[in-house]
Amino acid sequence: MSVGFALLGLLERGPRHGYDLKRSYDDQFGHGRALHYGQVYSTLARLLKNGLVEVQSEPGDGPERKRYAITDAGITDVERWLNQPEKPDVYLQSTLFTKVVLALLTGRNAADLLDTQRSEHLKQMRELTTRKLHGDLADQLICDHALFHLEADLRWLELTAARLDQLSERVRSDAG
């Protein structure tokens, strides 16, 4: 996800300080992966340079505090980004597939590799299911998204295991 667009979207609700944006980002999107303050401020500096946000200073007795507000250009960019469909991830250069082929090419046990990977996927699925049970609706939805991807990976692991002999023959004949 683009942190810049997320921050711009959060700013559409009104001007905020950088630490408020970080807290809102973490609450809405962080879910186990909090944003670093450095990333917030470097992203805000880039958005400011590109004219997508502006700084509003607050008068006070202490040090000058900056509030950031989205500009009309920023609103236009968020609108354009929201209306642009995401290209689905296609895993034609899968690291896992590469490992299976290399295991076959080098005489290693590809079936063990697939079993180990299956166990890792199942472990991750259990962790996500537990998180989903205790999470709010947003957390449940993001966990469902990840679980569906892991389920697809598991189907691929099973299919590959079932076709391992065929793949082994093909890999050996191509390498010959």
CATH number of the domain encompassing residue 48? 1.10.10.10
Instruction: Dump pLDDT digits (tens) for 133-166.
Output: 998 898 899 999 999 999 999 999 999 999 999 9
Q: Based on the domain organization, do 76 and 99 belong to the same domain?
A: no
Looking at the structure of the chain, the number of domains it has is 2
Q: How many residues does the structure list for the chain?
A: 176
CB atoms within 10 A of CB 11: 24
Q: Choose one of 55, 83, 111: the last residue of a domain.
A: 83
Report the C-alpha gap between 105 and 107 in whole angstroms. 6
Instruction: Dump pLDDT digits (tens) for 85-105.
Output: 888 777 767 889 999 999 998
Identity at 28, one-letter amino acid code: Q
* Domain span at 146: 95-175
User: How would residue 172 be classed by pLDDT, with cut points 50, 70 and 90?
Assistant: confident
Please report where in the chains the tokens 């408020």 appear, as a residue: 20
Secondary structure of residue 53 in the 3-state scheme? strand
Average pLDDT over the chain reads: 90
Reply yes or no on whether the pLDDT at 127 is more than 70.
Answer: yes
Report the C-alpha gap between 164 and 167 in whole angstroms. 5
β-bridge partners, 68 = 16, 55
Report the C-alpha gap between 69 and 54 in whole angstroms. 5
pLDDT at 161: 96
Reply yes or no on whether the pLDDT at 8 is more than 90.
Answer: yes
pLDDT at 87: 81
Token pair listed for 132: 């989903």
Q: Choose one of 26, 52, 83: the last residue of a domain.
A: 83
Reply yes or no on whether the pLDDT at 63 is more than 80.
Answer: no
Q: Based on the domain organization, do 131 and 161 belong to the same domain?
A: yes
Reply yes or no on whether the pLDDT at 62 is more than 60.
Answer: no
Radius of gyration of the chain measured on its C-alpha atoms: 23
Q: Based on the domain organization, do 155 and 129 belong to the same domain?
A: yes
The stretches of the chain forming alpha helices (DSSP H) are 3-11, 18-25, 37-49, 72-83, 95-105, 110-134, 137-162, 164-175
Q: Based on the domain organization, do 110 and 169 belong to the same domain?
A: yes
